[in-house]
Structure 1
Amino acid sequence: MRQTYRIIVIDDDPITRMDLVEMLQDAGYDVVAEGKNGEEAVRLTQTLHPHLVMMDVKMPGMDGLTAAELIQKSGQAAVLLLTAYSQNEIVAKAKAKGIRACLVKPVLEEELLPTVAFVLSDLSQIR
């Protein structure tokens, strides 16, 4: 039996969120929650214990890098960052915070699904 992975999707753009959720659900993933900022990402991770949190870097309030750092420190979930910027500085910050992967938006299904599978492939380091 294939394991069902729980995923939270966080992005301040509702259209982007909707697209990501649809792609993930069509691939058989269980999207357990959605949110629009880093505060929601941290809170939802603490209450729902997902395997993966996918979130945007630039959001109002707490940004994705700050939220990712808090989630990574707690060891509660893997983090996959989404960004509209492919700048080396953002990649370096994400790597320093233990982020498993980054994707540049707009995210295409043929990039998203293999990246999600890769991030989820080694959950032993998370749990």
Structure 2
Amino acid sequence: MRTVLICDDEPIIRMSLKKRLQELGFDEIMECGDGEAAVKTALARMPDMVMLDVAMPKLDGISAAREIRKKLKIPILLLTACYDQETVRKAKEAGVAALLTKPFRDQDLWPAIELAFAHASEVEELKEEVEDLKESIETRKVIERAKGVLMQRQALTEPEAFRKMQKLAMDKRKSMRQIAEAILLTE
């Protein structure tokens, strides 16, 4: 089930967009008319995607996108009549996945949506990879420090200290990081 939130202060645009999105297979289409309502609705209902007009009352679309992206990692499409460099720059900084200029053609909508979903998925995968790499680096640092402690305490060579930690990990059925952290606690 695909869900989308449309936020535009012009009801006629929302109605037209809703009809087109239903044709594209969206099951639930939520609507609102200002940026503050967009943020509240998105955080409460958690749609799969949000489409925001740039120029809206109470909170502009880029600011609303920024607020939504702080909590939800979903694709956001901006609808705008103006596409100057500053708007594009701000949209990129806010984490917007795509920008459609009004009046947009029906044939532009589906590719923008598909690319936005693909882009959002790719970004999340890259973020997960970065987190995994950070964790690996942190684990290596802990293991290296523990190895140094063993080398100093027990006059072991680096390979001997590493093998000792490996054996402890296997014997105690713990990870190398857990063994390294235990060694560092006894320091």
2:78 aligned partner = 81
* Contact 1:11-1:35 at 8 Å conserved across structures: yes
Paired residue for 1:94, among 91, 94, 101? 91
- Please name the residue that 1:27 is paired with: 24
1:30, CA displacement in angstroms? 2.3
Matching residue's letter, 2:19? E
Please tell me the residue identity of whatever aligns with 1:27: L
Q: Does structure 2 conserve the Cα–Cα contact (< 8 Å) formed by 1:56 and 1:81?
A: yes
TM-score relative to the length of structure 1: 0.90
| Deviation by residue 1:80-104 (Cα, 9 ceiling, x = unmatched) | 1000101111001101111111110
Instruction: Report the identity percentage.
Output: 38
Which stretch of the first structure deviates more once superposed, 114-123 or 6-15?
114-123
> Which consecutive unaligned segments of at least 5 residues does structure 2 have?
126-187
Find 1:40's aligned residue among 37, 44, 54. Answer: 37
**Offset of residue 77 of structure 1:** 2.4
RCO higher in 1 or 2 (8 Å CA, sep ≥ 6)? 1
Q: CA RMSD in A?
A: 1.5
The amino acid of 1:56's aligned partner reads D
Matches of 2:119 and 2:95, distance apart in 1: 14
How many equivalent residue pairs? Answer: 123
Per-residue deviation, residues 7-58 of structure 1 (Å, max 9, x unmatched):
0000000011111111000111124310001111111111111110001000
AA paired with 2:14?
A: R
Q: State the shift of 1:123 in Å.
A: 4.7
Which one has a larger percent helix, Structure 1 or Structure 2? 2
Give SS of 2:63's match.
Answer: helix
Q: Which has the higher strand share?
A: 1
Change (3 A) 1:122 1:89: closer
What are structure 1's unaligned runs of at least 5 residues? none
